């Protein structure tokens, strides 16, 4: 890796989700393990979910919502961080990408054996729809991600300026995708709305793929 990239890579420790942990918000919404437990069909199954998207899309907030963590203090990601959650046979690899366009080619180092791709879009940042659409199209063309189900989270729906999921789907020509299962889900990582519905779809797609 070229020294000019000034990249920092960090693995979170301790894990975002602890073994046997119970979310304080369990009654309000499902935590990460509560959702992913539906995926488990064998004792040692590893579910690899890759979470990608442009910087400022809301990936960090989304991850914290999934892990039932406090989202009141979110700071912009500098460079990029690799976060890994592993517990009870599940593994969630998360790429939290900063703004450097030249870093994105390194995403492909983590495509191997991905079960589901989750792609996060800032629905309120219309100026970057073309850029995020191009990045998504390139991901769908990757040989190592061939046939991998993709969930697109149309994030930041709590903002008045957010484009609806249907508009984003049309603009990105998602309906032309024929080589895999896909779904676009409106959500707000800030409020948690729509996240559970999206993860339920992930559960169904992974179970269907593994049959």
What percentage of the chain's residues is helix, strand, coil (to nearest 5)? Answer: 35, 20, 45
CB 111 within 8 A of CB 39: no
**141 lies in some domain:** yes
> Which residue numbers belong to the known binding site for GTP?
53-60, 99, 155-158
Model pLDDT, residue 78: 60
Q: Which of 19-28, 60-69, 128-137 has the lowest mean pLDDT?
A: 19-28
0.75 exceeded by pTM: yes
How many domains are there within the chain? 1
**7 lies in some domain:** no
Residue pLDDT, tens place only, 41-91: 555 556 788 888 888 898 878 877 777 777 777 666 666 666 666 555 556
Indicate which residue of 45, 100, 134, 183 is catalytic: 100
Pairing of strands 80-87, 150-155: unpaired
**66 lies in some domain:** yes
Residue 13: pLDDT band by 50, 70, 90 thresholds? very low
Query: Which residues make Cβ contacts (< 8 Å) with residue 12, sequence separation at least 6?
Result: 81, 83, 84
> Which residue numbers belong to the known binding site for Mg(2+)?
60, 77
> Which residue numbers belong to the known binding site?
53-60, 77, 99, 155-158
**158 lies in some domain:** yes
100 catalytic per annotation: yes
The arithmetic mean of pLDDT across residues 98-111, rounded, is 71
Q: Please give the residue range of the domain that contains residue 195.
A: 30-210
**96 lies in some domain:** yes
How much of the chain, in percent, has pLDDT values that exceed 70?
Answer: 63
Model pLDDT, residue 10: 37
**187 lies in some domain:** yes
Query: 160 exposed, middle or buried (CB, 10 Å; 0-12, 13-18, 19+)?
Result: exposed
Give one DSSP letter per residue of 157-188, joined into a string. Answer: TTSTTPPPHHHHHHHTTGGG--SS-EEEEE--
**104 lies in some domain:** yes
**20 lies in some domain:** no
Task: For residue 102, give the CATH number of its domain.
Answer: 3.40.50.300
């Amino acid at each position: 890796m070229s020294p000019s990239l000034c990249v920092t890579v960090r693995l979170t420790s301790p894990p975002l989700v602890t073994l046997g942990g119970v979310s304080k918000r369990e009654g309000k919404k499902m935590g990460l393990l509560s959702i992913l437990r539906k995926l488990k069909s064998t004792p040692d199954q590893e579910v690899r979910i890759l979470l990608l998207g442009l910087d400022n899309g809301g990936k960090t907030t989304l991850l914290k919502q999934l892990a039932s963590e406090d989202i009141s203090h979110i700071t912009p990601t500098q460079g990029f961080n690799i976060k890994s959650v592993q517990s009870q046979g599940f593994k969630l690899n998360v790429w939290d990408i900063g703004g450097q366009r030249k870093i994105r080619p390194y995403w492909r180092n983590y495509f191997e054996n991905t079960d589901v791709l989750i792609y996060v879009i800032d629905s309120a940042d219309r100026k970057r729809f073309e850029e995020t659409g191009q990045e998504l199209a390139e991901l769908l063309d990757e040989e190592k991600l061939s046939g991998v189900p993709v969930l697109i989270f149309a994030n930041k729906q709590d903002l008045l300026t957010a484009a609806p999921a249907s508009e984003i789907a049309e603009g990105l020509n998602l309906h032309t995708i024929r080589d895999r299962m896909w779904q676009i889900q409106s959500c707000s990582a800030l409020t948690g709305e729509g996240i559970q519905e999206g993860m339920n779809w992930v559960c169904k797609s992974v179970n269907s793929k593994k049959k």
